[in-house]
Amino acid sequence: MDILESLNDRQREAALHVDGPLLIIAGAGSGKTKTVTHRIAYLIKECGVNPWNIMAITFTNKAAGEMRERVDRIVGEGAEGVWVMTFHSSCVRILRRHIQEIGYDNSFTIYDTDDSKSVMKAVFKKLQFDPKQIKEATVLREISNAKNELIGPKEYEEINQHDFGKKRFVEAYREYQETLFRNNALDFDDLIRMTVHLFKACPEVLKYYQDRFRYICVDEYQDTNNAQFELVRLLAGERKNICVVGDDDQSIYKFRGANIMNILNFENVFRGAKVIKLEQNYRSTKTILDAANAVIRNNKGRKSKALWTDRQSDEPVHFTQYGSGREEAQEIVSQICRLHSKGQADWKDCAILYRTNAQSREFEEAFVHENVPYYIVGGINFYARKEIKDVLAYLKTIDNAKDDLAVRRIINVPRRGIGATSVQKVADYAEVNNIDFFDACSRAREIPGIGKAGDKIMAFAKMIRSYRAALADYGILETAKNLLDETGYLDEIRDSDEDDAQERIENIEEFISRIAVFEEENPEGTLSQLLEEVALVSDLDNADSETSRVLLMTVHSAKGLEFPRVWLCGMEDGVFPGYLTINSDSREDMEEERRLAYVAITRAKDVLYISAARSRMTRGETSYNPVSRFVSEIPEELLEREGETVSRGRFSFDDDDAPRRRFREMPFGHDDDDDLPLGGFIPPKKKVTAPVPRAPLTHPKAPTISKVADLSFPEPEYKVGDRVRHIKYGEGEVLAIEKGPRDYQVTVMFDENGQKVMYAAFAKLQKI
């Protein structure tokens, strides 16, 4: 039996290549795992290669498990001798046998992220570093980046010896690594770095593994960093029997250190390498592939290729532009419900993809409202995220303070110098006196042995009472905004410099938008009602694993997956691609975003729906963004535009790499620009209103409620057509000023952040 008979011509050519370097460019859905596993089987069954002379490296345990299972199934007895494992697992196995050669004990401990943070905290204390001046997370990130470049403490010091700004990084790296060495421990970055160091320091060890692994295969090669590249290069040795598989068009992990040049320059590093392109796609329809090819073709830093398929279909790519982000979520959920009720799609056949985790919130609420089972892949329920639970705990405490868990959750968040011992004393006092925890906080000075913490606890209780008293006049939105600002909660996240700090802030901004929508739709709504609505979502029971569910995930989480029907949402400039990318001068940044769009499009097997919103609530304000440039790159004949609000975006460019692109949006059949308002944007028919403005709360020295109620707002000093500056959005041009019952509503087209509608008292725009 020919073990390669199920392969197509290109797959078979790759499997038959035995000796010398081989680069397999495997397009999305082209059967790369099948090709790799059959190649391994061919080496063993037909070429007589011993299984223990083959090494297959993957990035995830899941991928390793899948490859292991396929190899075992094809090869049968003896296949267990093949090393099929992740980079880190491979390195751990090597280091367990030989790490004593470089001064460690074989029983070394592996430190996870939390362990590394604890070590760095101790380093800061020993070196007397002020966390307010330099963040522990910043130092850890710098060390990680250095290790991924194979730069140890000594080399790092030599490189930065004349850079005074790096002095503390040098000291921290040295002390951090010495601490790990004393503890006989390695962090995750060390696993690869120390293996490379071992190979270079002990040629005999390297020679052993070069002879052991005569054939090496690396999956997802486009995602390798420089340390992983060097590890593979050393193992390949003089034989250079190395096969790498990947797709430069799916390189989307630059933020994790991935270096796309590893795959683009493979032939230059491994001279004489054979290059085979797998371009036949077995996943998607021709229409979907044509759309994906059209988008990715705009990238310059790539190897030319074009996916094709035998799967013909009359189904177009569906594009819809909705009036708002909320309408987008509600209509998509309704569409999924209709497909399900007609028997055209099971829940599990449907996947919703978005750029950032914060975008899941409106979809989650719509699914709960329609009683549709759903699951968030690679994430957690929006309302179960720590930062959202913290904000909710504040709001619950302001609402009635009867929830002891909520009060205890935020009594020292952000940090106020109230320790666990003091909190326990308050809890004990409350129990003895049969009162609520919050009431005990209000009487903290009466608690025996509480010390100076009593004043801090009393101040916390006073702050909560002031917000509760002001709630009726300020409203929920402004209360929440000011609470976040004045407690320093956002600043603490921002200053933490954690990897997910920006994502956590985006989640909070999304929740602020949720509050704004609630106030807009419920002018008489109370905080209790808002919390009740939220509870219906946050307390939703997770369906069991056997239940068919709609899947929600970021595009990054979707890589490697496929679904019959895919909804790609939020396709607007400013969302996908994001503002930072649009305003970056780096072509590479935009090309990575385009690769991400390519990955998203190629997740769809049968039907692809793309959507955008004319307006979207962000940070509690309504913003207007043009349709994503990636949508405009899809040929017109492939798209079916649906709905009355749909329109086709046209862009004008000063040059090919222009980072800022002015958008002009036309209604159907409109060929004349004369009637377009300034900025070229045609507003939606339905007026989008912002919540009624309220006087800013300036806790703890806020004016009395009666004084705030009597405030009147002066006329802005700027007029339509003037240039203005906003502290967050930068410079822009005033498009409209409308006098409201309590303030002036101002519409501004910002140069870098698009159109915003805001209120003059809160915007604090400066005329320039």
CA distance 253 to 262: 13
> Is 503 an annotated catalytic residue?
no
SS3 4: coil
CA distance 44 to 142: 43
Phi, psi dihedrals of residue 163, rounded to the nearest 5°: -105, 100
CA distance 437 to 427: 6
CA distance 554 to 576: 11
Q: Which of 175, 187, 219, 506 is catalytic?
A: 219
Phi, psi dihedrals of residue 606, rounded to the nearest 5°: -110, -45
Give the chain's largest Cα–Cα span. 90
> Is 46 an annotated catalytic residue?
no
> Is 32 an annotated catalytic residue?
yes
Residue 342 exposed, middle or buried by CB count within 10 Å (0-12, 13-18, 19+): exposed
Asked if residue 53 lies in contact with residue 215, where contact means CB atoms within 8 angstroms, the answer is: yes
> What is the CA angle 706-708-713, rounded to 5?
135
SS3 514: helix
CA distance 553 to 355: 9
Q: Which of 175, 220, 364, 589 is catalytic?
A: 220
| Distances 48 to 37, 53, 235 between C-alpha atoms, Å | 16, 11, 21
Q: Which of 147, 603, 694, 756 is catalytic?
A: 603
Tokens of 152: 């140890």
Tokens of 314: 């009359």
- DSSP H/E element including 754: strand 754-759
Asked if residue 368 lies in contact with residue 536, where contact means CB atoms within 8 angstroms, the answer is: yes
CA distance 439 to 425: 13
> Is 220 an annotated catalytic residue?
yes
How many CA atoms, within 13 angstroms, populate the side-chain half-sphere of residue 639? 21
CA distance 303 to 248: 7
Q: Which of 33, 280, 645, 745 is catalytic?
A: 33
Q: Which of 177, 224, 250, 747 is catalytic?
A: 250
| Distances 693 to 276, 712, 734, 750 between C-alpha atoms, Å | 62, 12, 19, 21
Q: Which of 32, 277, 514, 549 is catalytic?
A: 32
SS3 545: coil
Cα torsion angle, 204, 205, 206, 212, sign: positive
CA distance 154 to 149: 13
Nearest to 220 by CA among 448, 63, 107: 63
> Is 603 an annotated catalytic residue?
yes
> What is the CA angle 150-557-352, rounded to 5?
160
Asked if residue 315 lies in contact with residue 286, where contact means CB atoms within 8 angstroms, the answer is: no
Phi, psi dihedrals of residue 495, rounded to the nearest 5°: -75, -20
Residue 452 exposed, middle or buried by CB count within 10 Å (0-12, 13-18, 19+): exposed
> Is 219 an annotated catalytic residue?
yes
CA distance 656 to 368: 44
Tokens of 565: 């029907």
Beta strand residue intervals within 325-386, DSSP E: 350-354, 374-376
| Amino acid, single-letter form, for residue 152 | G
Tokens of 335: 């569409």
- Looking at the annotation, which residues are catalytic? 32-33, 219-220, 250, 603
